[in-house]
Each structure stands twice: as C-alpha cells, then as structure tokens.
Amino acid sequence: MYKHLNYSVEDKVATVALDRPESLNAFDLVMAEELADCLSCCTDDVEIRALIVKGEGRFFSVGGDIKQMQQASSRPYFLRMLTMYLHTAISTIWRMPKPVIAAVHGAVTGLSFALTLACDLIVAAEGTKFGTSYLAIGLSPDGGTTFLLPRIVGLHRSKYITFTNDMIDASTAYHLGFVNQVVKGEELMVEANKIAKKLASAPPLAIAKTKELFNSNYGLSLETQMELERNAISFTSGTADFEEGLSAFFGKRSPVFKGR
C-alpha cells in the first residue's frame, strides 16, 4: 500500500511504522506524503480507536532527509514541500479525535522530535536520544517545535535545548515531562500496545472531547476553558456510551463502548 510505511490494524489499534531503515527513517518527500495520507485515513476510519507511530530498524527517525536537502536544486522549495506534507501530518495527529502513541527508540531528532511531541503519549526505549538538531545545520525549527516544546518543558528550557543542540536521554526526557514511560527495548511495543488497547476500549466520544479540550486550551482564560469543558461534558453525558458506562459501573462489569 505504501512504499515507506508499514501499516496494520488489529483490535481497533492502527500501527504506522516509518520504514526507511537504510536512511535511519529520514523523511523524504515520498514518506512525508505517505504519512500525511495514512494519518488522514486513520482519522476517517471509524473502526480505529487508537494509533501507534513507530520506526523500523535502529532508529525511530532522524527527521528530514539531509542528503535530499543537500542535493535539491532548490532547497527552499524542497523544504516547503517537505514541511507541507509533514505539517499536515503533525496537525492531523494534533486534531484527530483519537489518541496517538509514539513508540520511540534509538534517535528522535529534528522534525521527528516535533512529530512525537504532537502525539498524546510517548513511550521510549531505554537509550533513546532526543534532540532538535536544527541549529547544528543552520536551520530554524519546524513541525510545531516552537509551539509544542515550550508548552511541555517551559520557554527557557526549550530555548536551551534548541540553542545548544544537546541530546536528551530517555530518563531526562521522562523527568522533563515529555516522555510518559521508559521501558527496556524489548518491551517497547508490548507496552505501547498495552496502552493502545486500553485506550481503544475507552469511550471514543469522551476521549475525542477530552483530547480537544487539552489541545485547544492554550491562550484561553480559566473561565473560557471551563465553559468548553461544561459544553463537552454536557455532550458526552447524552451519549449511549455514558449510559453504558453507568450501567457497567453499577453492574460491576467491564463496559463495552460503541462510539454512540
């Protein structure tokens, strides 16, 4: 189906694997366009309740393909095209009503770092290294890095990480707050799938509204945010899923949510 992605769905969980291992999963135009398309399809597929994004081979991804940048007849044009596709992909992750888990290992640098920050949860294998890496080659950040990173670790830490190009290990990333779990390498996909299946069994409409509330609250007042929460909880309280949740709670059984 795709040239540089492996895509599968099992038990309502979609797994999207970056598959250019010979290039350390660096994004060329083909893989970038494929990722944008794949994520759009996942958004529209009502059978999918949760997503996992991972990388094949030694690394999750080293970001944009620097070799292609170097060889491009017009580097500004190449980067405009690359960011067009990848910004669409990142925006889709941020806006889609389904939870997205990044399962990362090896290296996560450049635009791929931003891609993981846009995900709802990050599970990292021990030894994973994160870095912005842009200034090392004379570029400014893209992929929403300057929007996402300060909101997670703070403005001054974000500037330090970006200005110095220092790599951040998985343990430090966990303590900074942008990695949710650090696991042994062989346990990475086991843990990511465990979380994804749990989220896939959660009420999809309530998950969607909750994600929307978290991701839309920047720059809003407390009162505005609480009004949005009021509208959302009012909406979800009228769903069949909420009725099922109540019935299961009082019946002391596991709920079966159907997204209605």
Token duo for residue 138? 């004379």
Token duo for residue 170? 């998985």
Phi, psi of 59, rounded to the nearest 5 degrees: -125, 155
The residue count for the chain: 260
Q: What is the torsion angle, in degrees rounded to the nearest 10, for the CA atoms of residue 21, residue 185, residue 122 and residue 110?
A: -40
Average per-residue pLDDT for the chain: 93
> Do 25 and 60 contact (CB within 8 A), yes or no?
yes
The pLDDT assigned to 246 comes to 87
Instruction: Say which DSSP state 37 is in.
Output: H
Is-same-fold flag (5-200; 204-251)? no
Locate the domains of the chain by residue range: 5-200, 204-251
User: What CATH code would you report for 5-200?
Assistant: 3.90.226.10
> Do 86 and 35 contact (CB within 8 A), yes or no?
yes
Lookup result for tokens 């891609």: 115
The pLDDT assigned to 250 comes to 87
pLDDT-derived band at 229 (thresholds 50, 70, 90) equals confident
Which of 55-69, 146-160, 168-182, 233-247 is the least confident region? Answer: 233-247
Of all residues in the chain, what percent carry a pLDDT higher than 70? 99
Lookup result for tokens 């159907």: 258
pLDDT tens for each residue of 23-54:
999 999 999 999 999 999 999 999 999 999 99
User: Letter for the amino acid at 61?
Assistant: S
Token duo for residue 160? 């330090």
pLDDT tens for each residue of 186-216:
999 999 999 999 999 999 999 999 999 999 8
Task: Please report which helix (H) or strand (E) contains residue 5, including its range.
Answer: strand 5-10
Smallest Cα–Cα separation from 122: which of 72, 70, 169, 52? 52
Distance CA 44, CA 62 (A): 28
pLDDT tens for each residue of 151-161:
999 999 999 99
Task: Tell me the C-alpha to C-alpha distance, in Å, between residue 186 and each of 105, 218, 225.
Answer: 10, 37, 41
Expressed in angstroms, the distance from the first to the final Cα of the chain is: 31
The pLDDT assigned to 92 comes to 95
Checking if the pLDDT of 150 tops 80, the result is: yes
Token duo for residue 109? 């640098």
Beta strands in the chain (DSSP E): 5-10, 13-18, 50-55, 100-104, 107-109, 121-125, 129-131, 168-169, 181-183
Looking at CATH, the fold of the domain delimited by 204-251 is given as Lyase 2-enoyl-coa Hydratase; Chain  A, domain 2 (1.10.12)
The pLDDT assigned to 222 comes to 65
pLDDT-derived band at 128 (thresholds 50, 70, 90) equals very high
Using a 10 angstrom Cβ sphere, with 0-12 exposed, 13-18 middle and 19 or more buried, the burial of residue 29 is: middle
